[in-house]
Structure formats: structure tokens, C-alpha cells
Amino acid sequence: MVIQPKIRGFICTNAHPEGCAEHVAEQIRYIKEQPKLNGPKKVLVIGASTGFGLASRISAAFGFGADTIGVFFERPAEKDRTASAGWYNTAAFEKAARAEGLVAESINGNAFSDEIKQETIALIKEKLGQVDLVIYSLASPRRTHPKTGESFTSVIKPIQAPYTNKTVNFMSGAVSEVTVAPATEDEVRQTIAVMGGEDWDFWIHDLLAAGVLAQGAKTVAYSYIGPQITYPIYREGTIGRSKDHLEQTAHELNRLLQDKIGGQAVVSVNKALVTQSSSAIPIVPLYISLLFKVMKEKGIHEGTIEQIYRLYADRLYKEETPLDEAGRIRIDDWEMREDVQQEVDALWNRITEENLAELGDLEGYRQDFLRLFGFGLPGVDYEAEVDPNVPLTRA
Ligand code: NAD
């Protein structure tokens, strides 16, 4: 079939297998050009198929020669429907990693369930023995609690008061004012249940109990803080509450791992980037398009792969990992630089639909968004027939 992007709102409902493979190949090439330093050797990535999790897997394998197991929830191709991007990304990753003699195994299923945790443990025992790094990079709108069966839905809303600000429809370029109603107490509770630290905690306890965490193993989960402009919708909203919970969980897990295996649990605060998850948040895409403009002009722009290489090489595997006052790793340091934030702030006040193309990097946003699904990659013939059925070994 000939595959062209099918966009609905902030979602692209199809993906291009060769484009996704090229997107993965680009990240592999970047990583291979970086200096070879200390890093992980046997890695479990939970949420390994797209965004920061995929970059974590690629960096570990091609930057540090790590064997990896990836867990994710993706859709295979069916009749006239393509597979999801994460499916194609993983197929390309597995092929490239195995060509270099690395173990690259994947589990496609619901990471929140006890079954997938046990399946993963069995696979670690079979293929790796133990892991020395566990990356937790899930982003999901829903979770069913494995013990109680309760189903939770996460929402992206402010807390207590409604929040009004500018937002952009990044496909059409329309700038408008949006008002987001505050969450109810129950919505806050459910969002924390989905995106907070409970499931990470369950994973680490299960892995520890099964004896598959190596002596000194580390685990990292990803968080975000961002600027004042997005505080009401992000850091001080429902999603921020779940990040508070995740960060609290890191402290508890850190004590546990230190005590049991001399290990470490830590949260890394990452930069705002275009991923399937961040595109769904109101106001944030407009902020990201201004941020990209400023960071690109200053020559300090990074994508997920650059961020994660820096996380491993400059933070996690340094003799001493630098942490902020709350015990977190910060690789959002360039985003949060005072000069960057001041310039973004000044732009924010001036931005309108008419001047967005000039003052912001909406085109860069759009390109990044399409690339997530394998569209707009150089060297890929988008007019050519392509087979959407790409196998994954274990899924
Ligand atoms: P993403 O949507 O690109 O990736 C999410 C991953 O989770 C995918 O691999 C998906 O398959 C997997 N997943 C979702 N539900 C699952 C389930 N039930 N079972 C198994 N796998 C499942 O998201 P992302 O933006 O890379 O986000 C990853 C983490 O990074 C999140 O914690 C997010 O808050 C954080 N973060 C994101 C940004 C950003 O700007 N995108 C910035 C800082 C931190």
C-alpha cells in the first residue's frame, strides 16, 4: 500500500514502516558518533517503543553495547491498517541491534499488569540473567490496577481554578485562547494512579523479589517541570501531581535499592519535546514551538536521543551523579536556562496567529510530529508501495 499521513486532531492514526526505520537509523547514527564512555550493559526499558523510552533503548544498545529488553503496548498491521509507529520502530531497532550481535528482545503487552511483569522477569532470566538498568518511560491515558481491578483514566487539567491561555492547533497553525476546567478530586486521584509512581514501585519490587536486579542496579523514571506559563496545566495540574508522586516514589525506591543491592532509583527531569504524549496537552505545543525557536538559534536544541545520551554519559554513569536540591537529575538544564526562558516569555506575550510562523518554530514542531510516525524522512519514497506487515519476533 502507499502510506500517507492520516491526521486527526493531535493524533496521526497510521505510520510508515520505512520512515520509522529511517527515524530509528538516524538516532543510531547519532549515538554511534558519540564518545564511548561508561554505561549500562543489560537494560530493561518499560515504554521502549517511542519517545524517550525508545531513545533510552537506542542509546543503551548503540552507545554502550547493552543488551536490551523492551516492553511496550503497540498495534500490529491489520488488513488495510498500518501498524503503530512504535511497532515499526521496534522492528527496526531489533534488526539493527541483532546485526551487531546484541540481545534485543521485546514484549508487547500491558505493562501495568502482573502477567506482563512476570513474563518480563522470565525473559530476563532466560536471555540476560539480570539487568543493571531499568528505565521507566510509560505515558498512558489509562491503567487498570492489577490488584483491585479498578480502571483509572488520566486527565490533563488544572487544579482548583480554570486556566486560560493561548494554544495552537499545530497542524493548521490556528492560535486561539483555550480555557481548561479544573479537575475534580477524583480526576486528580485517577491521574496519579495512572501516571504516578505506583506501577514503577510494583515493577521494582517484583524485579527485586525475583533476583533479576544486578548488584548496584539503577532505575530511572522521567519527569518534567517546565516554565511558569505551563505550570497551571502541567506542573501544578493533575499531571504535575502525578510527577510529584513519581518523585516521592523515587526516594522510597532509592532507599530500598541502596539497602538491598547498593543500587539507585532516581527521577530525571527531561526537556519538553514533541512526542505522541506531549502533543495531546493544551498550551504546551505553543510553548514548545517558541522554545525550539530560541534553543535552535542558540545552538542548544536537543531531541530525545541527544537528551538521553547526555543523561547516561554526563549524569547517570559519572563517578558522582549531579542532582538538584530535590534529588533529581536535570537534563532540562538548557531549556530552563534564564536567558532561554526570558526570551520565550517575551515571545509568548507577542505571539499571534499572524506572527507565529516568524516568531515560533511551528514548522519544526510539525516536522517532528510527522517524523514520530515515519513521515518526512529524507531518502524515503512516500509514493512507493510498501508492505505494512512487518514482523516482531515475540509480539
Ligand atoms: P511516548 O508516548 O512517546 O511513549 C510512551 C511509551 O509507553 C510507548 O513505548 C508506549 O508503547 C508505552 N506504553 C503506553 N501504555 C502502555 C502500557 N499500558 N503497557 C506498556 N507500554 C505502554 O511518551 P514520552 O513523551 O516519551 O513519555 C515518556 C515519559 O517521559 C513520561 O513519563 C513523560 O511524562 C516523560 N517526559 C516527557 C516529556 C516530553 O516533552 N515528551 C518531557 C519530560 C518527561
**pLDDT tens digits, 161-217:** 999 999 999 888 999 999 999 999 999 999 999 999 999 999 999 999 999 999 999
**pLDDT tens digits, 83-97:** 999 999 999 999 999
Angle at 378 between CA 377 and CA 379, to 5 degrees: 115
- pLDDT band at residue 394 under the 50/70/90 scheme: low
Task: Provide the mean pLDDT of the chain.
Answer: 96
From the alpha carbon of 46, which atom of ligand 1 is closest?
Answer: 21
Domain map (residue ranges) of the chain: 7-141+189-280+300-336
Mean pLDDT of 277-281: 85
**pLDDT tens digits, 280-317:** 888 999 999 999 999 999 999 999 999 999 999 999 99
CA of 197 to the centre of ligand 1 (A): 14
CATH superfamily label, 7-141+189-280+300-336: NAD(P)-binding Rossmann-like Domain (3.40.50.720)
Mean pLDDT of 248-274: 98
**pLDDT exceeds 70 at position 247:** yes
CA of 269 to the centre of ligand 1 (A): 13
C-alpha cell at 207: 524485579
From the alpha carbon of 239, which atom of ligand 1 is closest?
Answer: 34
CA of 33 to the centre of ligand 1 (A): 26
The residue ranges of DSSP E strands in the chain, in sequence order, are 7-8, 11-12, 42-46, 67-72, 104-108, 131-136, 142-144, 151-153, 163-169, 174-180, 213-223, 264-269, 329-330
Q: Has 234 been annotated as catalytic?
A: yes
pLDDT value at residue 150: 98
What is the end-to-end Cα distance of the chain in Å, rounded? 23
Q: Rounded distance, CA 132 to CA 317, Å?
A: 12
Query: 3-state class of 43 per DSSP?
Result: strand
- Give the gyration radius of the chain's Cα atoms: 20
pLDDT value at residue 275: 87
Mutate-to-test residue for ligand 1 from 138, 151, 195, 392, highest number of ligand atoms within 8 A of CB: 138
The active-site residue, picked from 234, 287, 309, 312, is 234
Helix axes 51-58, 304-311, angle to 10 degrees: 50
- State pTM to two decimals: 0.97
